[in-house]
Every structure is written in structure tokens, then in C-alpha cells.
Amino acid sequence: MIRVGILGYGNLGKGVEAALAQNEDMQLVGVFTRRSPESVSVRTPDVPVYHCDKLADMKKDIDVLILCGGSATDLPEQTPVYAEMFNVIDSFDTHARIPEHFANVDAKAKAAGTTCIISCGWDPGMFSLNRLYANCILPEGRDYTFWGKGVSQGHSDAVRRIEGVADCRQYTIPVPAAMDAVRAGENPELTTREKHTRECFVVAKEGADLAKIEEEIKTMPNYFADYDTTVHFITAEEMQRDHSGLPHGGSVIRTGVTGMEKEHKHVIEYSLKLDSNPEFTGSVIVAYARAAYRMNQEGMTGCKTVFDIAPAYLSPKSGAELRAHLL
């Protein structure tokens, strides 16, 4: 049994918990939190909740620690700290800061002899893998990534900060015509606006100025100004009834050419349609937690990403079983 700890019990922590229950070779030994442990109740029977300060005493009890905090402030601090004590895995997704985060974690992991995986999930994660494979197979080509239809928590949060907004759910929606053109191998040059639209479902506070809210959303720099955005005002009941899920998904597409005259076109597409973003992300992370443990057993220490991990390490099955049934 691979003994796993979860640090942070938000949506992602709960997704990891659910994934662990589907993997018979993995055991959840504890959920760790910065909150008061009594205030957290987990769904797996007989799993204790500890304050995160307790982790330092549990080095011998945990094979892999899964960090379920946020990329903005939690992970840049937590991952290097816990890399000194455990094999750890995180879902750090601030693309621009990955090189720095990698270097910090790598130094700590190498010194401590742990195996740590950063930026695991689906993007970064499975989407990155598919970008890499497709780029290696078709060196002359072009990459496209489409996200959605799905809930963007960052955009939902941005709208919630607007005065008069009680709640918001923001859906990112790929433009079908753009995807069709890419799949047809037309290599279109697409602006931000041409690739995705945004749709906001907003619960306004009583007496709020709806026109002003809509205007503020549509003109918000970085988040909405470059997109065609639709805003719907709904009741709190409608929000609860119709928008309580966290679906997401998307497609990574690479088109390229081969042949002595580059006369043949090819399209490689990887796509995801997910009812629950945090549960799917948690499921990816749990498979990679198995890899972290096994690579550590084999002495492969330091910081890794999905690029550095042979796929067989993700599976509980033997090489012979995999070759016989999945190759």
C-alpha cells in the first residue's frame, strides 16, 4: 500500500480523496489542514484530520504528500518546504513561474532524496503531455489549445469582486467555427476573441445596478475585455439548481505536415469532457503520486514533471500485464 497524505481540503483535496478511494493500492492516511482540524470533516471513514504542523512528525508515515493548495501563494511556499520531508506532488499552474518553482523544488528534493512532481493535472499536465508528444511527432506544425465548455474559477472570482455581485459562475466556451477550421487543417490565425467566448451567470445583490455590473464585467481588462461576453442575471436558487457543478474540458490540437514535399496533412487531437474538474485533476494527481513513490523507490530523486515520467509508472499493473493488454 502506498500511504498518502492530503494537505488542503478544498475542491481539489476532495477530488484527490475520491480518486484515492478508486485505487486499491493507495491508502489515505490523513488529511492535513491549516484550519482547526475539528472544523474539517472528511468523507472517507476512519481517516483522521490533523493540523498541518503535525506533518513534520509524520515523515515515516507518509509515502507521498499531495499538496492541494493554490498556485498564487500556497504552493510556491509549501512545495519546497515539504519536498524536504516527503515525496510531494502539486498542481502548480502559473505557467510563467514554472521554471522558478521547478528550480526551488528540485534543489530541496535532490538534497533530501525525495521525488517531487510539480504542475500535475490536465493543464498543465495531460494537455502539456499531448502538446509534447504531438510536437515531437510532427515537428513542422502548429498547436492550438481550446478550453471548455467549463467553469473558470478565476473568472468567476473576478466577477464576484465587483460591487453589487453576490455570486457568479463564468463559463469559458470554445468557438465551434474556430475548432472546425483547426480540425480541417486550415491553420487559421486566431485572435483571443475568435477562439473563446465567455458566459457569466450572476446573482446580484438587492438594489444593485445591473447595467453597471454588466458593463464592468465586459470591460474588465485581461479577464473579459478581449472576449465576447454574455451576462445573465439569475436568482440564487437558479444558481444553486443549474450551476453548482464544476464541469470543464477542452482540446489540444496539433496539425502538421509530412512527406518529402510536405504534401500530407495530419491532425492530432486530445480532448477532455469532464463533469468535475477537481475530481478529474485529483485523479491525474493520484496516478502520478504512484509514479512519484515508485520512482523514489528506484532512486530517481529530484523535481519531475509529466515530461520526465515513463507512463508505465502510473499504473499498478506490471510491465508484462501492460504489454499484453494495453499495447
Task: Tell me which of 22, 235, 240, 297 binds a second copy, using CB under 8 A.
Answer: 22
Q: CA–CA separation, 158 vs 161, rounded Å?
A: 5
Using alpha carbons, select from 240, 68, 85 the residue that is nearest to residue 167: 240
Task: Tell me which of 27, 71, 94, 258 binds a second copy, using CB under 8 A.
Answer: 258
Residue 289 Cα distances to 58, 83, 272, 296, 326, angstroms: 18, 13, 21, 11, 21
* Angle between helices 11-20 and 277-297 in degrees, nearest 10: 60
Q: CA–CA separation, 21 vs 68, rounded Å?
A: 17
When asked if residue 126 is in the footprint of a second copy (CB under 8 A), the reply is yes
**3-class DSSP state for residue 221?**
coil
Sole window of 53-61, 149-157, 191-199, 279-287 interacting with a second copy (rule: CB under 8 A): 279-287
When asked if residue 79 is in the footprint of a second copy (CB under 8 A), the reply is no
Q: What is the length of the chain? A: 327
Sole window of 61-69, 70-78, 136-144, 218-226 interacting with a second copy (rule: CB under 8 A): 136-144
When asked if residue 153 is in the footprint of a second copy (CB under 8 A), the reply is no
- Say if residues 270 and 250 touch (Cβ distance below 8 Å): no
- Say if residues 33 and 49 touch (Cβ distance below 8 Å): yes
Return the residues of window 165-194 that contact a second copy according to CB under 8 A.
183
241 versus 264: smaller Cβ distance to a second copy = 264
Residues in contact with a second copy, total (CB under 8 A)? 69
Residue 218 Cα distances to 111, 164, 198, 199, angstroms: 49, 15, 10, 10
When asked if residue 259 is in the footprint of a second copy (CB under 8 A), the reply is yes
Task: Tell me which of 69, 124, 174, 250 binds a second copy, using CB under 8 A.
Answer: 124
Sole window of 50-58, 74-82, 161-169, 254-262 interacting with a second copy (rule: CB under 8 A): 254-262
Q: CA–CA separation, 258 vs 262, rounded Å?
A: 5
When asked if residue 15 is in the footprint of a second copy (CB under 8 A), the reply is yes
Tell me how far, at minimum, the Cβ of 203 lies from a second copy, in Å: 24
When asked if residue 150 is in the footprint of a second copy (CB under 8 A), the reply is no
Exposed/middle/buried for 300, CB within 10 Å: 0-12, 13-18, 19+? middle
Task: Tell me which of 35, 43, 161, 212 binds a second copy, using CB under 8 A.
Answer: 43
When asked if residue 47 is in the footprint of a second copy (CB under 8 A), the reply is no
Interacting residues toward a second copy by CB under 8 A: 15, 17-19, 21-23, 43, 95, 98-99, 102, 119, 124, 126, 128-133, 135-140, 183, 258-260, 263-276, 279-280, 282-284, 287, 290, 305-312, 314-315, 319-320, 322-324, 326-327
